[in-house]
């Protein structure tokens, strides 16, 4: 923050290029209602994208782990698709799904699914072979093996994926809005850029970051509640108790 | 009446990318109900494989397996298994780990909860039922896995080096406890170990296996009276037996 002020003082840079932090803060107060409106729209897109994308990612992981043949057939294509930058296919989605919220949700989904899919697959597969043997001697059905052993064991991996997805999701919504929108932080960013409203740009950047942070924290909190037994959470708790 | 277990001419060949591995060759043995068998042999002699074949978790390349007179064609279920590591679920408490056996088998939870608590008492873990595995030492975790193997009162107990990762003092304690449990419950036990003294201490009969491919070299009857105590291990006939078995293994290149 002081560095920021120092740069401004030394270079006498115009506030239309680099506004000072307090100017950005005033921007929040000035345009409060407007910023909140756009933020809520972007947040809605991100949330809906996650609500559709995360279950879809988990469900696909379950199906692929259930059937190794399907995994061999499909996984190479998933990896191939993942390597197509999403921004390149975004215009296509606009043609398919229009300028409404649908396009934004689809783009968020695409960004969210891959990390969830990959980490959940790893998690579902990481049951100890001895545990599988043991539970088979108990006469467990395939379903019991799945929800007693595989599913709880997959949670730590799943949460790594969820944390990645939470930070990617905002990118998807912004890209979607850039393709065509009449509201949302992505839209607001474009308008601000067009009018060289640097303060408004900074304010939007902060808000996009806040959305990402918020979702990440949400993932962290649910992880702490659900994974009390896991070594990563335990270590964290011990440190906090000591501190 | 059929014998508790009966293995006949078991052979096992694993195919792998590096070629096939001949793990077991013409292994035959059996046990009467309530008998305590120990299998000793060098690392990689196929002891674990043999146990898995017995449990129906692996299929032998040749030979037949019968448990209580019935051919084994898939995982058998009237069995309790204990592995070298405790294999507990980290997200379940001690009690819930034991109850896994009950849940999967759809047994009466209320009734077996009491059985589980009784077993915890038996292995000296009363009051630990709400702890998580990470809050327990390795020896305590292994006791939990023994409770899990016993709760449904199986006729057969298969133990694969259960005390291999436990320090010597705790190990002696566990051997005493296991003997006591076995004397109380009279199950058929097949117990795999690296330790000859442990085998002699626990077993009615010690089966000695050779290095790969695993063959049954010799069977020793242990006629030490029960209950055996730590003093038993100091007796000359105990050490004579241990030496005897060790020589047998050395003669076949089983020990370095």
The answer to whether residue A133 neighbours chain B at the CB level (below 8 Å) is yes
Q: What percent of chain A has pLDDT over 90?
A: 54
With CB atoms and an 8 Å threshold, state whether A130 touches B85: yes
Mutation target to probe the A interface, by most A beta carbons within 10 A, among B51, B96, B100 is B100
Give chain A positions within 8 Å (CB) of B81.
Answer: 133-134, 137
The CA distance from A180 to A207, in Å, is: 20
Residues 6+ apart with CB under 8 A from A181: A99, A104, A187
**Closest CA of chain B from A160, distance in Å:** 17
Q: What are the two backbone dihedrals, phi and then psi, of residue B121, each rounded to the nearest 5 degrees?
A: -60, -45
The answer to whether residue A130 neighbours chain B at the CB level (below 8 Å) is yes
The CA distance from B183 to B122, in Å, is: 13
The CA distance from A157 to A120, in Å, is: 6
Q: pLDDT tens digit string along B155-214?
A: 999 999 999 888 888 888 889 989 998 998 889 999 999 899 999 999 999 999 988 888
The CA distance from A93 to B38, in Å, is: 67
Give chain A positions within 8 Å (CB) of B104.
Answer: 135, 138-140, 144, 148
For chain A, the structural domain boundaries read: 32-242
Record the tokens describing residue B240, joined without a space. Answer: 């004579």
With CB atoms and an 8 Å threshold, state whether A139 touches B75: yes
What's the order of all strands across the beta sheet hosting B216-221?
B79-82, B156-160, B188-193, B36-40, B205-209, B216-221
Least confident of A48-57, B26-35, B244-253: B244-253
The answer to whether residue A140 neighbours chain B at the CB level (below 8 Å) is yes
Predicted local distance difference test score (pLDDT) of residue B59: 92
Mutation target to probe the A interface, by most A beta carbons within 10 A, among B104, B105, B161, B164 is B104
The answer to whether residue A129 neighbours chain B at the CB level (below 8 Å) is no
Give chain A positions within 8 Å (CB) of B101.
Answer: 138
Q: Which residue of B has its CA nearest to A139?
A: B77
Which of B106, B153, B103, B80 has its CA nearest to residue A137? B80
Token match 């930070």: residue? A167
Across the interface, of B52, B104, B132, the residue whose CB is closest to A148 is: B104
The CA distance from B137 to A186, in Å, is: 54
With CB atoms and an 8 Å threshold, state whether A133 touches B57: yes
> DSSP string spanning B64-125?
EEEETTEE--S--SSEEEE-SS----TTS-HHHHHHHHHHHTT--HHHHHHHHHHHHHHTT-
Which of B242, B194, B209, B228 has its CA nearest to residue B84? B194
- Other residues' Cβ atoms within 10 Å of the Cβ of residue A23: 15
Q: pLDDT tens digit string along A109-144?
A: 999 999 999 999 999 999 999 999 999 999 999 999
Predicted local distance difference test score (pLDDT) of residue A52: 96
Record the tokens describing residue A152, joined without a space. Answer: 């709880």
With CB atoms and an 8 Å threshold, state whether B87 touches A136: no
* 3-state class percentages of chain A: helix first, strand second, coil last, to nearest 5: 85, 0, 15
Q: What percent of chain B has pLDDT over 70?
A: 98
Record the tokens describing residue A37, joined without a space. Answer: 């409106």
Instruction: Quickly state the pLDDT bin for B253 (edges 50, 70, 90).
Output: low
The answer to whether A72 and A127 are in contact (CB under 8 A) is: no
The 3-class SS string of A17-35 reads: CCCCHHHHHHHHHHCHHHH
Three-state DSSP class for residue A51: helix
Is residue B254's pLDDT more than 60? no
- Other residues' Cβ atoms within 10 Å of the Cβ of residue B166: 18
Is residue B104's pLDDT more than 50? yes
Q: What percent of chain B has pLDDT over 90?
A: 58
The answer to whether B159 and B148 are in contact (CB under 8 A) is: no
Give chain A positions within 8 Å (CB) of B79.
Answer: 137
Predicted local distance difference test score (pLDDT) of residue B1: 60
The answer to whether residue A131 neighbours chain B at the CB level (below 8 Å) is yes
Predicted local distance difference test score (pLDDT) of residue A113: 93
Which of A11, A14, A181 has its CA nearest to residue A102? A181
Mean pLDDT score across all residues of chain A: 89
The whole-number average pLDDT for the span A6-30 is 83
Q: Which residue of A has its CA nearest to B101?
A: A138
Mutation target to probe the B interface, by most B beta carbons within 10 A, among A127, A132, A133, A137 is A137
> DSSP string spanning chain B?
---SEEEEEEEEEEEETTEEEEEEEEEEEEE-TT-EEEEE--TTSSHHHHHHHHHTSS--SEEEEEETTEE--S--SSEEEE-SS----TTS-HHHHHHHHHHHTT--HHHHHHHHHHHHHHTT-TT-TTS-GGGS-HHHHHHHHHHHHHTT--SEEEEESTTTTS-HHHHHHHHHHHHHHHHHH--EEEEEES-HHHHHHH-SEEEEEPSSSB-EEEEEE----SS--TTGGGSHHHHHHHHHHHHHHHHTT---
Dihedral angle, C-alpha A172, A173, A174, A179, nearest 10 °:
90
Predicted local distance difference test score (pLDDT) of residue B42: 84
Q: pLDDT tens digit string along B11-51?
A: 998 888 888 888 888 889 999 999 999 999 887 778 889 99
CATH code reported for the domain at A32-242: 1.10.3720.10
The whole-number average pLDDT for the span B125-145 is 92
Token match 């803060």: residue? A25
State the pTM of this model.
0.84
Contacting A residues, span 33-72, partner chain B, CB-CB under 8 Å: none
Mutation target to probe the A interface, by most A beta carbons within 10 A, among B51, B91, B112 is B91
């Amino acid at each position: 923050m002081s560095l920021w002020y120092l740069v401004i003082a030394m270079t006498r840079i115009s506030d239309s290029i680099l506004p000072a932090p307090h100017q950005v803060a005033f921007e929040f107060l000035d345009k409060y209602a407007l910023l909140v409106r756009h933020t809520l729209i972007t947040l809605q897109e991100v949330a809906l994208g996650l609500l559709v994308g995360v279950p879809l990612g988990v469900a696909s992981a379950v199906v692929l782990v259930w059937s190794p043949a399907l995994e061999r057939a499909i996984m190479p294509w998933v990896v191939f698709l993942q390597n197509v930058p999403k921004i390149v296919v975004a215009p296509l989605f606009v043609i398919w799904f229009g300028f409404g919220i649908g396009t934004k949700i689809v783009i968020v989904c695409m960004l969210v699914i891959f990390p969830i899919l990959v980490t959940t697959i790893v998690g579902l597969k990481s049951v100890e072979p001895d545990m599988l043997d043991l539970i088979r001697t108990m006469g467990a059905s395939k379903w019991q093996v799945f929800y007693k052993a595989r599913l709880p064991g997959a949670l730590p991996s799943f949460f790594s994926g969820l944390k990645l997805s939470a930070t990617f999701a905002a990118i998807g919504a912004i890209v979607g809005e850039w393709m065509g929108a009449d509201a949302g932080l992505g839209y607001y960013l474009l308008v601000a850029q067009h009018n060289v409203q640097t303060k408004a740009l900074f304010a939007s950047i902060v808000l996009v970051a806040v959305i990402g942070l918020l979702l990440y924290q949400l993932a962290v909190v649910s992880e702490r509640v659900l994974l009390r037994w896991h070594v990563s959470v335990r270590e964290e708790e011990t440190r906090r108790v000591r501190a | 009446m059929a014998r508790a277990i009966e293995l006949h001419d078991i052979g096992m060949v694993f195919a792998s990318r590096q070629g096939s591995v001949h793990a077991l060759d013409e292994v035959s043995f059996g046990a009467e109900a309530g008998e305590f068998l120990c299998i000793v042999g060098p690392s990689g002699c196929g002891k674990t494989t043999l146990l898995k074949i017995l449990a129906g978790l692996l299929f032998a390349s040749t030979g037949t397996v019968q448990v209580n007179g019935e051919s084994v064609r898939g995982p058998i279920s009237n069995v309790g298994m204990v592995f070298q590591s405790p294999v507990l679920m980290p997200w379940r408490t001690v009690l819930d780990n034991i109850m896994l056996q009950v849940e999967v088998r759809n047994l009466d939870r209320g009734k077996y909860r009491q059985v589980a608590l009784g077993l915890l008492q038996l292995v000296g873990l009363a009051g630990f039922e709400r702890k998580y595995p990470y809050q327990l030492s390795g020896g305590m975790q292994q006791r939990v896995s023994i409770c899990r193997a016993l709760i449904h009162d199986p006729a057969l107990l298969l133990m694969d080096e259960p005390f291999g990762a436990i320090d010597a003092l705790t190990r002696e304690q566990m051997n005493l406890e296991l003997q006591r449990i076995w004397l109380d419950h009279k199950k058929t036990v097949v117990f795999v170990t690296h330790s000859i003294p442990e085998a002699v201490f626990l077993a009615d009969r010690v089966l000695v296996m050779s290095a790969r491919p695993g063959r049954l070299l010799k069977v020793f009857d242990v006629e030490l009276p029960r209950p055996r105590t730590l003093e038993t291990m100091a007796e000359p006939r105990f050490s004579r037996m241990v030496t005897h078995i060790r020589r047998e293994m050395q003669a076949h290149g089983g020990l370095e």
